[in-house]
Amino acid sequence: MKKILIMIVAVVAISAQAEAQDWLSTLKKVATEAVDKATGGKLTAVAINGTWSYTAPAVRLGGDNTLADLSGSALGATLGKKMQSTFEKIGVKQGFCSITFNSDGTFSMPVKGKSISGTYTFDPSTHVVKLTIGKIGTINGYAYISGQQLQLVFSIEKFTKFVVNLGSKISALNSVTSLLKQYENAYLGFEFSK
């Protein structure tokens, strides 16, 4: 009963934040995230394998409970849409890159004619994904299945480092990072679809 009540409250919170045409999509994302949370991240652990193409910015706002996570997801989606033009200014557009996670713990990410590759680990209980890339080193982020998308997000500082290593200029990101720094537990990254 408690989970049903939390879902109802989350849907009400989401409907206040999501645009009418995006309501169904947002509801699907919330439902998938609720299932992933209920299974201790195992949905993401299984579904992460495969090739994913970049579609949009991803923003996640964390919380200490299910309701905070779900309403934070809706607000994150709204902020992500607002950041689309800023991402495009730094060259991150739909089709900018893809990422392939293999079941053997390796990944590859072709970006602007270059290929970034390395190894990864994923901890379902925390959603921490560790990407180890040759000279760059290890970059910790978080991976979530949200609807039919994969969200790969990082702390603002790590995201900035990651984007610079991909060859993008950081000056256009300053407005985005200052906006997100006002939120506690704000994470920025990429949304991919299969």
Q: What does the pLDDT profile of the chain (194 residues) look like in tens digits?
A: 444 434 444 444 444 444 544 555 665 666 667 777 777 878 888 899 999 999 988 888 765 444 344 444 555 566 667 778 777 776 778 888 899 999 999 999 987 778 889 999 999 999 999 999 988 889 899 999 877 889 999 887 777 666 666 555 555 556 556 656 666 677 888 899 98
Strand, coil or helix: 5: helix
- What gap in Å lies between CA 68 and CA 152, rounded to an integer? 19
> CA–CA distance from 143 to each of 3, 32, 63, 99 (Å)?
23, 13, 16, 12
Q: Quick one: how many helices (H) and strands (E) in the chain?
A: 7, 8
CA angle 176, 178, 180 (to 5 degrees): 70
pLDDT attached to residue 7: 43
What pLDDT was estimated at residue 106? Answer: 97
Q: Are 49 and 103 in contact (CB under 8 A)?
A: yes
Bridge partners, 159 (sequence order): none
- CA distance to 34, 81, 122, per residue, from 103 (Å): 24, 31, 11
85-99 burial code (b ≥16 CB/10 A, e <16): ebbeebebeeebbeb
What pLDDT score does 49 carry?
94
| Residues 107, 180: Cα–Cα separation, whole Å | 28
Name the residue with tokens 């997000």: 153
The residue type at 171 = S
